[in-house]
Amino acid sequence: MPASPDRFRARTASAMNAAAAPYPVVVMDAAGYVAELNGAARTLLPGARVGAALSSPDWLAGAHRTPGTGVVGGAVGERFFSASSSVLPGGDTVWWLVEETSYRSAVEELRAERERTRFLTEASSALLASLNLQRCMEVTARLAAEHLADAALVIAPTAAKKLPVVTCDQHGRLAHGTVSGAVQSVPGLPEALRGFPPVPSRWIDPAAATWMVPEGFGEVGSLAITPLPGHGVPAGALVLLRRAPQSEFSASEEAFAGLFAARAGAAMSAARLYAEQNAITDTLMRDLLPPTLRQVEGVEFAGGYRASVDTDRVGGDFYDVHPADEDCPESLAVLGDVAGKGLEAAVLTGKIRNTLQALLPLGHDHDQILRGLNSALRNAHSTRFVTLVLASARREERDVVLRLTSAGHPPPLVLRRDGTVQEADTGGTLIGVLPEITTRTAEVRLAPGETCLLYTDGVTEARGGPLGDTMFGEERLRRALLGCARMPAQAVVERVRMLADEWIGDGGHDDMAVLAITAPQGAPLGAVDGTAPGRFTA
Amino acid sequence: MTNTPAPGLPGGPGRPGTGTRSAPAPGHERAGEWAHRLWTAVRAADEYAALDVVTHALAAGLDAETVLLDVIGAVQHKVGAEWAANRMSVADEHAATAINDRVLAVLPVGRPDTFRGKVTVACVDKEWHALPARLLAETLRLRGWQVAYLGAQVPTAHLVGRIHRTGADAVCLSAALSTRLPAAHAAITAVQAIGTPVMVGGRGFGADGRYARRLGAEAWAPEARTAADRLAAGPLPGPRPPHQVADDLPHLADQEYTMVTQSSRPLVRETFQRLERRFPALAHYDDDQRERTAEDIAHIVDFLAAALYVDDPDLFTGFLTWTADVLTARGVPAPSCRAWTCWRNNCATSPAPAVSSAPAVTRSPPLPASHGHTGDGRQRMRCRGPAPPLARTAGAGQVGGPAAGFAHAVGLVPDEQGEQRRHGQARFRRVAQDLVRFDAVGVGASLAGVGEVTVLLEVGDDPLHGTLGEPAAGGDVADADVRVVGDGRQYTRMVGDERPSGVRSRHFNHAPHSTDLLCLTPDA
């Protein structure tokens, strides 16, 4: 029903004048005809005429046709409005429109920003988790393929000609490979690998990069290359692939890829640094690690080591076995304990082990070796000293004959087949302190199955036990060995280590080393390869 | 130490162990014969003969995995069974394991056609039983994986550093004893935190891998073949985002585990001292015996702590059952087991269940659904099903508490007949005799029993197969003439007798140093 001017005038008496409202107001009657528009509404809805049905916007007309609709909203041209209704006494409905354009865009931006932040947080924690370069490359490729593109490649620069590449395809599958010359064929890639700023994606012709495309990917629509900035050096390049016919990467997408790349690059260069440091440590440490022992010349050797700091691999205790050679018909085993702990002590053990190796030709005379070592240590700058045991071993028939010399060290224990445990009768002064030393060598014959155990005081002085404060002690060690006759050397060592470790529990301890020398039971010499060249260094 | 484990957990019949032949490979029929030959060589401690057996088995056409799991693995099982049956000494067992370990080196190095991936295999910190992990490592190697085998007792820091350096698609962690679960959890969490999924295995995680799930591992496998199959089936799911250890186990917030672990040494000391007062015979023990006894108490505390850690009383009671059964195999008479049954029945809301011929361990304890004790106002029913929290049970002054259960379970009261049975060790017999006079249904008796525990925990490949798995050998839990110990309060005042309103909260609030949480002896 068309509204009459009379009714309009009657309503102007209202205390509230909608016509002057700064918001668009539309009054419609029950049939959907516009009864009234205020100035703002006329400006906003130029197509709306009083007395005509409201045709635009659809969402408002639709809401009017459905009584009971609460607040509605929608686009008007480029802008967004929400509309609330109130019913007039005459039955007409007033629609109050409030502009929400900036609110909506703020919400939208917030959502996108949150999305980005969540992704970057996820990316950071995933990237920070590992210090392994390959793993970092995998994580980078996977995250980029999931969030930034359809597929992604990570290329790491190395000194080698072939560069490692990790590809994550559109299904999230990872592939590893290498690339060499093909890098040059892609515009922007060599530059990115050298750390130059990225080339805009629209300049790059995807056709040049066929080698990058994962199998089954289809036609590449666009391609973006982002350098991965490292700690001062380029950490590689990230290549994003999008399938046709998607639009190319926008400037903001490329900028965001840059943010991600910054994190990935930092993680990758940290991983590279860690790997380099580790390689250096491993190289320097190689000669300090306890060697892997096995049977030498028909004599079984086994060693066990536990550094005072559980995360260390070296400490102030050491052992070595030097197989017999032309100069010396006996294998020489040595186990010792340098005063002090940790890396500094370990470095000294390395020196002592080297000095002992140089003194090997004197192997037949323990006293002479120890004198040589004593003068070498006293001449060195170090004020440290060392206690050690030398054991020369040779087979005689099925027995093993040992010459044992202790230099200020706990004498070795000998496990007999009858189950008794004896202490070798040897003694001497410690090395590196006094100008003159004395030694006393003991000769011990081991029948098959008998073992001679060399150990450091870290074992016997270990504190712990069920009551917490008891010393392991030599007596307990002897008791532990009672059951060990006829065991292989390795089993004896493991038993002692296990008991000592259990004794210590969670408590602190000194470096501990044990070395077992056993006359093998069973088949005669030669049944297995009994020789091994050089010093055994793991 | 390289042998498979002991107990930790009740297991069902036919429970697969590391190296069992769940999926026999071709040539399996012949494997038994070779296993027998290898067993003979290992038993004679003849390393060369053992090496020959394996070399010949390979030459005879057995494939390497069959030799690995059905010959070497089978022998290692037998070592465990023989040990559990008391036919092998600790020394023999160590020697056999060392030889088996050496023999593994003979196996050919796999030359995989395709690169399957990198796997790191390690035992958790303080875990000495390395052979199951070694068998897995060799199996994976044979199947074409690049394996880094780190051996026994790998500190978590080492493990993590290693994975940083070399990378790994998955980490396999082995724990034979459930007391290693806290360490295992630390390792699992740390490895996951560097983005690497973890598969766990070994007895320590429960016969059904229940603790593996609870500790958040991505996968669990009962034995080497299953583990290898799982890895072959596809990559393990990616680990959860970095999280704290306590996120998996929110009940740790109640500090029970922390308290028991932190005060374990004083707890042991105090218990031991009270035991000395209450049980004069202890004064005649030599140092070694006293130490063993103290170690046994320490083991009880360790298992209690582990049970609190995973919030599962079954872990603790399973340990007790296992102990009782292995003692039975050592000629320790059955009352222990009968008492054990009684304890379980006492706990039951329903009348004592009719005990079938099923192994004791398969009957889940019908523990009360709710507990009378609400002293601290918190009704903790957090663990699945009806299991009551441990410490509360222990603290509630009930004879049905685990501590009492322990006392009964391993407390043996030898009778005339028991006296004449073969005893493993002289000291044990002497203790047992003393106990007859002591008439201890309670704790003193238990300690005599657990005099063995220390030794038991050190060794033994798979004793469960030898004893626990078979009801006949496991002690007659079904025995009709179960002695009534339900009224054990008349003998033994348990922890918390004086304070039924909640030992746990009291200790935590007022007496963190208190040591009588696990005091097994009544005050004289």
DSSP string, B129-152: --HHHHHHHHHHHHTT-EEEEEES
3-state SS class at A148: coil
Q: CA–CA separation, B140 vs A502, rounded Å? A: 30
Say if CB B321 and CB B360 are below 8 A apart: yes
pLDDT for residue A529: 42
Residue of A nearest to B115 (CA): A176
Q: Are residues A335 and A199 in the same domain?
A: no
Average pLDDT for chain B: 63
Instruction: Judge whether A117 lies within some domain.
Output: yes
Q: Which residue has the higher pLDDT, B204 or B320?
A: B204
In this complex, is the C-beta atom of A487 within 8 Å of any C-beta atom belonging to chain B? yes
| Neighbour-count burial for A460-471, b at 16+ CB within 10 Å, e otherwise | bebbbbbbbebe
Q: CA–CA separation, A228 vs A191, rounded Å? A: 11
The tokens for A407 are: 């230099």
Task: Give the residue from B270, B504, B238, B182 showing the smallest Cα distance to B371.
Answer: B504
Q: Are residues A349 and A252 in the same domain?
A: no
Instruction: Judge whether A525 lies within some domain.
Output: no
- pLDDT, mean of residues B434-444: 30
Q: CA–CA separation, A264 vs A141, rounded Å? A: 9
Which residues in chain B are contacts of A143 at CB distance < 8 A? Answer: none
Helix, strand, coil share (%) of chain B residues, nearest 5: 55, 5, 40
Domain count, chain A: 3
Q: Are residues A185 and A320 in the same domain?
A: no
Task: Give the residue from A356, A351, A376 showing the smallest Cα distance to A366.
Answer: A356
Q: Strand order of the sheet with strand A317-322?
A: A317-322, A331-338, A386-396, A399-407, A439-446, A427-428
Q: Which of A73, A99, A125 is the last residue of a domain?
A: A99
* Whether CATH 3.40.50.300 fits B28-247: no
DSSP codes, B76-104: HHHHHHHHHTT-S-HHHHHHHHHHHHHHG
pLDDT for residue B330: 65
- pLDDT, mean of residues B36-49: 86
Q: CA–CA separation, A392 vs A412, rounded Å? A: 13
**What is the least distance, in Å, from the CA of B486 to any CA of chain A?**
31
Instruction: Judge whether A71 lies within some domain.
Output: yes
Residue recorded with tokens 């003068």: A375
| B297/A311 touch (CB, cutoff 8 Å), yes or no | no
pLDDT for residue A411: 93
DSSP state of A483: T
Instruction: Judge whether A532 lies within some domain.
Output: no
Q: Are residues A27 and A126 in the same domain?
A: no
Q: Are residues A148 and A215 in the same domain?
A: yes
DSSP state of A419: S
* Residue A348, domain CATH: 3.60.40.10
**What is the least distance, in Å, from the CA of A284 to any CA of chain B?**
16
Q: Which of A231, A258, A283 is the last residue of a domain?
A: A283
* Residue A243, domain CATH: 3.30.450.40
Which residues in chain B are contacts of A495 at CB distance < 8 A? Answer: 1, 94
How many C-beta atoms lie closer than 10 Å to residue A336's C-beta?
A: 27
Say if CB A448 and CB A519 are below 8 A apart: yes
Q: Are residues A176 and A213 in the same domain?
A: yes
Which residues in chain B are contacts of A283 at CB distance < 8 A? Answer: none
Q: Which of A34, A65, A99 is the last residue of a domain?
A: A99
**ipTM greater than 0.85:** no
Task: Give the residue from B494, B406, B496, B495 showing the smallest Cα distance to B446.
Answer: B406
Instruction: Judge whether A531 lies within some domain.
Output: no
Say if CB A141 and CB A153 are below 8 A apart: yes
Radius of gyration of chain A (CA): 42
| A466/B295 touch (CB, cutoff 8 Å), yes or no | yes
The tokens for A147 are: 């969030």
H or E segment at A414?
strand A413-415
DSSP codes, A321-381: EE---SS-SSEEEEEEEESS-HHHHHHHHHHHHHHHHHTGGGTT-HHHHHHHHHHHHHHSS
Q: Which of A485, A487, A522 sits opposite B46 (nearest CB)?
A: A522
Q: Which residue has the higher pLDDT, B502 or B1?
A: B1
Task: Give the residue from B40, B53, B24, B113 showing the smallest Cα distance to B82.
Answer: B40
Digit-coded pLDDT (tens) for B355-410: 233 233 222 333 333 333 333 333 332 333 333 333 333 333 332 333 333 333 33
> Domain residues of chain B, as ranges?
28-247, 255-310+312-363+397-518
Q: Which of A490, A502, A521 sits opposite B45 (nearest CB)?
A: A521
Say if CB B103 and CB B38 are below 8 A apart: yes
Q: Are residues A162 and A86 in the same domain?
A: no
Q: For residue A52, give its domain range.
A: 5-99
CA distances from B205 to B4, B69, B78, B201 (A): 13, 21, 22, 6
Q: Which of B53, B134, B165, B518 to mutate to test the interface with A (most CBs of A within 10 A)?
A: B165
CB burial of residue B336 (10 Å; 0-12, 13-18, 19+): buried
Instruction: Say which residues have a Cβ less than 8 Å from residue A488's Cβ, sequence separation at least 6.
Output: A300, A302, A518, A520, B45, B47, B95, B98, B99, B102
Q: Give the ranges where A47-186 is alpha helix by DSSP (H).
A: 58-65, 101-129, 133-147
Q: CA–CA separation, A428 vs A422, rounded Å? A: 18
Q: CA–CA separation, A503 vs A497, rounded Å? A: 10
Instruction: Say which residues have a Cβ less than 8 Å from residue A273's Cβ, sequence separation at least 6.
Output: A231
How many C-beta atoms lie closer than 10 Å to residue A124's C-beta?
A: 15
Say if CB B475 and CB B361 are below 8 A apart: no
Q: Which of B44, B46, B90 sits opposite A483 (nearest CB)?
A: B90
What residue type is assigned to position B52 of the chain?
Answer: D
pLDDT for residue B471: 28
Which residues in chain A are contacts of B153 at CB distance < 8 A? Answer: 501
Residue of B nearest to A312 (CA): B158
Which residues in chain B are contacts of A449 at CB distance < 8 A? Answer: 45
Q: What is the pLDDT along chain A (538 residues), one digit of tens a residue?
A: 454 555 555 555 556 677 778 889 999 988 888 988 888 888 888 888 888 888 878 898 888 888 777 888 899 888 999 999 888 888 888 999 999 999 999 999 999 889 889 999 888 888 888 888 888 999 999 999 988 889 999 998 877 788 889 999 888 888 888 888 788 888 888 888 888 887 877 777 777 778 888 888 888 888 888 888 887 777 889 999 988 877 778 888 888 888 899 999 999 999 988 988 988 988 888 888 888 888 888 899 999 998 888 777 888 899 999 988 877 788 999 999 998 888 888 888 998 999 998 988 877 889 999 999 998 888 777 677 899 999 999 998 889 999 999 999 999 999 998 888 999 999 899 998 888 899 999 999 999 889 999 999 999 998 888 887 888 989 889 988 887 888 889 889 988 988 888 888 888 888 999 999 999 876 543 434 443 333 332 3
Instruction: Say which residues have a Cβ less than 8 Å from residue B409's Cβ, sequence separation at least 6.
Output: B317, B320, B321, B323, B324, B336, B337, B339, B340, B343, B446
Q: Are residues A10 and A90 in the same domain?
A: yes
Q: Which of A275, A479, A490 sits opposite B288 (nearest CB)?
A: A479
pLDDT for residue B110: 62
In this complex, is the C-beta atom of A298 within 8 Å of any C-beta atom belonging to chain B? no
| B265/A468 touch (CB, cutoff 8 Å), yes or no | yes
Q: How many residues in total does chain A contain?
A: 538
Q: Strand order of the sheet with strand A93-99?
A: A34-37, A25-28, A93-99, A79-87, A72-76
Which residues in chain A are contacts of B461 at CB distance < 8 A? Answer: none
Instruction: Judge whether A415 lies within some domain.
Output: yes
**What is the least distance, in Å, from the CA of B165 to any CA of chain A?**
6
Radius of gyration of chain B (CA): 23
Q: Are residues A464 and A382 in the same domain?
A: yes
3-state SS class at B286: coil
Q: Which of B38, B126, B134, B160 to mutate to test the interface with A (most CBs of A within 10 A)?
A: B126
Task: Give the residue from A370, A531, A372, A352 showing the smallest Cα distance to A440.
Answer: A370
H or E segment at B55?
helix B47-59
Task: Give the residue from A369, A360, A414 showing the smallest Cα distance to A388.
Answer: A369
DSSP state of B67: I
Q: CA–CA separation, A348 vs A356, rounded Å? A: 12
Angle between helices B28-43 and B90-103 (to 10 degrees): 130
Q: Which of B91, B99, B265 sits opposite A484 (nearest CB)?
A: B91
- pLDDT, mean of residues B165-178: 91
Band of pLDDT at residue B472, cut at 50, 70 and 90: very low
Q: Are residues A85 and A121 in the same domain?
A: no
Q: Which of B123, B262, B265 to mutate to test the interface with A (most CBs of A within 10 A)?
A: B265
Q: CA–CA separation, A120 vs B90, rounded Å? A: 56
Instruction: Judge whether A290 lies within some domain.
Output: no
Q: What share of chain B in percent tops pLDDT 90?
A: 11
Q: Which of A311, A449, A501 sits opposite B157 (nearest CB)?
A: A311
What is the C-alpha end-to-end distance of chain A, expressed in Å?
Answer: 100
Q: What is the dihedral of CA A494, A497, A498, A502, to 10 degrees?
A: 180
Q: Are residues A323 and A463 in the same domain?
A: yes
Q: Which of B49, B90, B94 sits opposite A523 (nearest CB)?
A: B49
3-state SS class at A519: coil
* Residue A44, domain CATH: 3.30.450.20
- pLDDT, mean of residues B248-267: 84
Task: Give the residue from B69, B53, B57, B33 showing the smallest Cα distance to B143.
Answer: B69
Q: Which of B98, B266, B272 sits opposite A490 (nearest CB)?
A: B98
Q: CA–CA separation, A413 vs A481, rounded Å? A: 9
The tokens for A118 are: 């969540």
In this complex, is the C-beta atom of A347 within 8 Å of any C-beta atom belonging to chain B? no
CA A191 and chain centroid, separation: 29
Helix, strand, coil share (%) of chain A residues, nearest 5: 35, 25, 40
| A523/B46 touch (CB, cutoff 8 Å), yes or no | yes
| B47/A520 touch (CB, cutoff 8 Å), yes or no | yes
The tokens for B214 are: 């609870």
